[in-house]
A and B are shown apart, each in its own frame.
Chain A
Amino acid sequence: MMPARLTAATGPNPLQGAVQLVSAIIGPDLRGSSSDDPTRPVNCDWIAALCLTAAVALLLVVAGHAAGRRAYDVTPLLFWPGVILLVVPISLRIGWPRVARGERLFLLFLFAELLLYYKTVYAPTSFVGHDEFLHWVAADDLLTARRLFLSNSLLPIGPTYPALEILTTAIVNLTGLSVFVAGTLLLVILKGTFVVGLFLFYEAITGSPRMSAVACLAYMGCMTFVVFDSMFSYESLGVVLCMLTFAVEAASRDFDPRARLRALGLIALLLASLAVTHHVTAAFAAFYFAMLAAFEALRRQGSSLIGTTLAIIFIATLAVALPVLWVMARGNPLSGYLGPAVESGLNALMRKFSGGVTHRPEVNALSQPLGMRLTTAVAVLLLSLGLATGFFRSLALAASSGAPSGWRPIEDILKRRWRDSRIVFLTILAFGFPVSVILRLTQSAWEIANRMATFVFISVGLVVAVSIVHFWQGRDARGWRRAGPAVALSIIVMGGITSSSLDPIRGRYKVGADQQSIEAMGIETARWTNEWLAAGNRFTADRVNRLLLASYGRQDVRVRIVAGVDTALLFEGETLDPDILRVLARSDIDFLLVDLRLSMAPPVLGFYFEPWQPRHGKALSGSDLLKFNDIKGVARIYDNGWIVIYDVRGLHENS
């Protein structure tokens, strides 16, 4: 070893200096003041000013949508300043040091509701998201039949998880509101409860309202927060129940045995509800509690903490057993639903990395405007920076030694001495973030990344918050140390918005683009079927019109002509294959709806019918779509110049 004297004499070793620098940046030093001044009052000046700013911002967003519908050039100039005005001021205030707990929590709650408003105003009178239609149809069926577990051809797994429909129809039954209004009211409550639950969870494990608020803001950078988890869909309810379970468990860890037992009762009820609400969220809750139990079992601890460990093992057992029992009771419909999605996603990813030929043109971020892509990329970079500078600090936060600097806390963790297993597990779970970014590289694996992000960001939020409070802002944040991290948080939240959808501005009709393909003519045609053909006819059509027929038209839509034969085979192709015609004649399908707008352009999402079908780089031709005109037994009963309905019941008589 080189003597210190000699080192001093020959000048600093550059390698050693670099190691010290890196250690200072990513090392476990905790030098921030994580607590707020408890006596600091809520600043109503700020709250009032932010409310007014947000309202102006929402007006600009609404104006942006109106201009977008008419394809005006001014659209982005209205919409994006509105979004920036919505996000930046409130994020800056929430992320600012020395703000009262109550003010932070109120602003977080307000911000979550504002973002829900932002999502809802895209289509202010009806659901337009693909998944929203599936649950809307299920809710309508429940209202009509007054029975649970009705089959849903668009979402076969849906009847197994009816909690969202139960709550929505309860409100509809009790109030007389429409499904859309009742569902939106439910979403308002869910969004607010989620963010409060998230805040309480972070606060329980970090002990700091400031760190909790910063973590919640970082969580809002998740690609699912603004749109996907705000949809009228079962995961929006699932994540709330999941987060409340985590919050109750974390808050009750230091209770006396009697109080903890009562908290266990509430946790058990929440877990039971989660088991019948959403499969992936219930699986994540089971994973979280199982890992927590494993970390508790690993932890070196005194006998006084055995009660806590036993409680966590009991919760983990419930979290695993309840969803499994429910799925078994319902005949295990889950493997057939999730299995193919996971398999195709992983296969697509493997093909991507092995350089193999992909048969499906991928829809990716290249379809977005440059500004949106840049914002997402900068947000991902900032999150990565936060994770790099927060990882060891977050572990140090959990260490039992309490040493504020040096690598001693990490040594403690390696020796299985930590004070809170939740922080250790969540910190390690942050590795899921780079995995989810990689999974976004292909369309098929993007679905997995999307579902993962909701949960991975719970840990990302924690680690980034630790990084900001203990590294970037430090003990006495002044100057750039005060403003820089708050601006970075604003960009992270902006990244959550830009990554949440392909095109957040309401625009003109687009082909095969789910919510961007929903417009008045398609809706009115679906309503026409209900008015003139009555409900319950067996229809098939492209993906978007199927949704409209099932919801507005109350028709019995089919994804396949018969089992194993996709409807795409009917519509694609210059002529109708005689075998397919025979299958159609023997099927029970009554009507085909042909949307000639499909011939206007290739589908934005890459498919006209279902995601698992071959992707289209070019548009279908109008003559291909109209080939039914000349088939004996088929009658063209409806035509509005764009949409044609064929009655194929005559084929059944001939078969």
Chain B
Amino acid sequence: MKIPSQRDLRAALLWAIVMLAAVGLSSNVLLRTVLVAPMVFFVSGHAMLRAIGIKTSSLSEHLAYAVGASLVIGISGGFILNAAGLLTPLGWASWFCAITVAAALVAGRRSDAPDLPPWPGSVPVRVWQGTAMAAALLLASGAYALAVHDEATYRQFNYTAFWILPPASGGPARMTVGVRSAETNTQRLDLEINLDGQPFAVFRSLTLAPGETWSREIQIPISATSQRADARLYRPDDNRLYRSVSTLVPRR
């Protein structure tokens, strides 16, 4: 069985235009992916093969060459769009659409284009076979979902991050101090800040649940010489120094 010679080209034209419209008008990732993936990996290359008039003897050969031609179109598009300053979603959509439309038009005008390869004969699939394949697909998808869940939830290191940041250059005279808990239990912490060795600020009994972040911007006096701010984090439960950070406050 051979495919009628023009139907595939009309389908490619239509696909290209719908893809361009979807990229231009929709922000739905799923819709765009469904339309874009075949265009980027197959449709544009298929139209190009038809335009050049490449002879293929089997469907697998045609599919492989079409993917290859699509990759070529994508790569060359990168250089051309870069030169034009159009490496944007619409730039890319226009490129694939333009190439597909042009190739389909050229292929449609060819009188000596080779026929498309024959489709392989249909393979009868019995109920149990179809069920087994569907179950396999579900199982593999489920296994992947399990892997994603495990990756997202498992952590080997539990920690409390503590930081102090100097005022941004040219910004207000405020330094930032922060604590983030990546522990398994809620933490209670005391925080002390010294400026050039003198007590400057104290925060008692900060309570942080796992995953929680506490931060403050603290107004500081800017002097003619640079100062050193030290921040210390204590655990009241065992009254020991837990973390210590410092920063240099730039001079006026």
Decide if A269 touches B72 in the complex (CB within 8 Å): yes
Nearest to A534 among chain B residues (CB) is: B168
Decide if B69 touches A266 in the complex (CB within 8 Å): yes
- Residues in A whose Cβ lies below 8 Å from that of B93: 174
Nearest to B28 among chain A residues (CB) is: A176
Decide if A509 touches B245 in the complex (CB within 8 Å): no
A431 CB to nearest chain B CB (Å): 29
Instruction: List CB contacts (< 8 Å) of B136-194 with chain A.
Output: 136-140, 142-144, 146-148, 150-152, 154-157, 159-166, 176, 178, 180, 182
Residue from the set A45, A54, A61, A163 with the largest chain B CB neighbour count within 10 Å:
A163
Task: Please tell me if B109 contacts chain A, counting CB pairs below 8 Å.
Answer: no
Decide if B71 touches A273 in the complex (CB within 8 Å): yes
Q: Which 10 A-B pairs have the closest CB atoms?
A: A166-B78, A55-B139, A51-B136, A55-B136, A48-B132, A640-B161, A48-B129, A244-B68, A521-B157, A124-B147
Task: Please tell me if B216 contacts chain A, counting CB pairs below 8 Å.
Answer: no
Complex CA–CA separation, A270 to B87 (angstroms): 22
Complex CA–CA separation, A197 to B120 (angstroms): 18
Apart from A121-B143, A124-B147, what are 14 other A-B pairs with CB-CB below 8 Å? A44-B124, A52-B132, A55-B140, A66-B146, A102-B123, A170-B74, A170-B78, A175-B33, A193-B64, A200-B64, A520-B182, A633-B248, A639-B245, A647-B166
Task: Please tell me if B16 contacts chain A, counting CB pairs below 8 Å.
Answer: no
A25 CB to nearest chain B CB (Å): 35
- Residues in A whose Cβ lies below 8 Å from that of B165: 532-533, 637
Complex CA–CA separation, A117 to B67 (angstroms): 20
- Residues in B whose Cβ lies below 8 Å from that of A200: 60-61, 64
Decide if B124 touches A647 in the complex (CB within 8 Å): no
Q: List 24 A-B contacts (CB under 8 A).
A: A41-B123, A42-B123, A44-B124, A58-B139, A58-B140, A62-B146, A148-B82, A163-B78, A166-B77, A171-B37, A174-B32, A175-B32, A176-B27, A241-B71, A244-B64, A259-B55, A270-B68, A272-B76, A276-B79, A520-B182, A521-B182, A640-B161, A640-B162, A647-B166
- Residues in B whose Cβ lies below 8 Å from that of A102: 120, 123
A206 CB to nearest chain B CB (Å): 15
Interface residues of A (CB under 8 A from B): 41-42, 44-45, 47-49, 51-52, 54-56, 58-59, 61-63, 65-66, 69-70, 102, 105, 117, 121, 123-125, 142, 146-148, 162-163, 166-167, 169-171, 173-177, 185, 189, 193, 196-197, 199-200, 237, 240-241, 244, 247-248, 251-252, 255, 258-259, 262-263, 265-266, 269-270, 272-273, 276-277, 508-509, 519-521, 524-525, 528, 532-533, 633, 635-642, 645, 647, 650, 653
Complex CA–CA separation, A467 to B248 (angstroms): 72
Task: Please tell me if B49 contacts chain A, counting CB pairs below 8 Å.
Answer: yes
- Residues in A whose Cβ lies below 8 Å from that of B57: 251
Decide if B49 touches A266 in the complex (CB within 8 Å): yes
Decide if B147 touches A175 in the complex (CB within 8 Å): no
- Residues in A whose Cβ lies below 8 Å from that of B155: 519-521
Nearest to A41 among chain B residues (CB) is: B123
Complex CA–CA separation, A105 to B120 (angstroms): 13
Q: A269-B72, A641-B243 are in contact. Are A58 and B157 (CB under 8 A)?
A: no
- Residues in A whose Cβ lies below 8 Å from that of B154: 66, 69-70, 520
Q: Mark B53-95, 1 if CB is under 8 A from A, else 0.
A: 1111100110111011101101111110010010111011100
- Residues in B whose Cβ lies below 8 Å from that of A169: 78, 87
Nearest to B131 among chain A residues (CB) is: A48
A41 CB to nearest chain B CB (Å): 7
Cross-interface CB contact of B164 among A146, A525, A637, cutoff 8 Å? A637
Interface residues of B (CB under 8 A from A): 19, 23, 27, 29, 32-33, 36-37, 40-41, 49, 52-57, 60-61, 63-65, 67-69, 71-72, 74-79, 82, 85, 87-89, 91-93, 96, 112, 114, 120, 123-126, 128-130, 132-133, 135-140, 142-144, 146-148, 150-152, 154-157, 159-166, 176, 178, 180, 182, 226, 228, 243-248
Decide if A508 touches B156 in the complex (CB within 8 Å): yes
Cross-interface CB contact of A125 among B64, B67, B151, cutoff 8 Å? B151
Complex CA–CA separation, A66 to B140 (angstroms): 15
Nearest to B36 among chain A residues (CB) is: A174
- Residues in A whose Cβ lies below 8 Å from that of B40: 167, 170-171, 174
Cross-interface CB contact of B75 among A66, A166, A175, A653, cutoff 8 Å? A166
Complex CA–CA separation, A265 to B106 (angstroms): 15
Complex CA–CA separation, A499 to B167 (angstroms): 52
- The majority secondary structure among interface residues of chain A is helix
Cross-interface CB contact of B157 among A123, A237, A520, A528, cutoff 8 Å? A520
Residue from the set B68, B114, B138, B160 with the largest chain A CB neighbour count within 10 Å:
B68
Complex CA–CA separation, A132 to B109 (angstroms): 44
Decide if A45 touches B129 in the complex (CB within 8 Å): yes
Decide if A519 touches B65 in the complex (CB within 8 Å): no
Nearest to B249 among chain A residues (CB) is: A635
Complex CA–CA separation, A290 to B159 (angstroms): 58
- Residues in A whose Cβ lies below 8 Å from that of B55: 252, 255, 259, 262-263
- Residues in A whose Cβ lies below 8 Å from that of B87: 142, 146-148, 169, 173
Q: A532-B178, A636-B244, A641-B160 are in contact. Are A247 and B49 (CB under 8 A)?
A: no
Decide if A638 touches B65 in the complex (CB within 8 Å): no
Complex CA–CA separation, A519 to B151 (angstroms): 9
Q: A51-B132, A273-B71 are in contact. Are A62 and B144 (CB under 8 A)?
A: yes
Residue from the set B78, B89, B144, B243 with the largest chain A CB neighbour count within 10 Å:
B78
B194 CB to nearest chain A CB (Å): 13
Complex CA–CA separation, A593 to B201 (angstroms): 27
- Residues in B whose Cβ lies below 8 Å from that of A47: 129, 133
Decide if A532 touches B150 in the complex (CB within 8 Å): no
Complex CA–CA separation, A171 to B33 (angstroms): 8
- Residues in A whose Cβ lies below 8 Å from that of B77: 166, 170
A380 CB to nearest chain B CB (Å): 30
Decide if B162 touches A638 in the complex (CB within 8 Å): yes
A221 CB to nearest chain B CB (Å): 22
Decide if B75 touches A277 in the complex (CB within 8 Å): yes
Decide if A247 touches B150 in the complex (CB within 8 Å): no
Complex CA–CA separation, A275 to B120 (angstroms): 35
- Residues in A whose Cβ lies below 8 Å from that of B164: 637
- Residues in B whose Cβ lies below 8 Å from that of A270: 68, 72
Complex CA–CA separation, A448 to B69 (angstroms): 30
Q: A70-B154, A251-B61 are in contact. Are A276 and B75 (CB under 8 A)?
A: yes
Cross-interface CB contact of B74 among A49, A166, A259, cutoff 8 Å? A166
Nearest to B55 among chain A residues (CB) is: A259
Decide if B53 touches A262 in the complex (CB within 8 Å): yes
Residue from the set A269, A519, A633 with the largest chain B CB neighbour count within 10 Å:
A269
Complex CA–CA separation, A124 to B57 (angstroms): 38
Complex CA–CA separation, A250 to B92 (angstroms): 33
Decide if B125 touches A44 in the complex (CB within 8 Å): yes
Q: A51-B136, A69-B154, A647-B247 are in contact. Are A174 and B161 (CB under 8 A)?
A: no
Decide if B182 touches A639 in the complex (CB within 8 Å): no
Complex CA–CA separation, A59 to B178 (angstroms): 41
B228 CB to nearest chain A CB (Å): 8
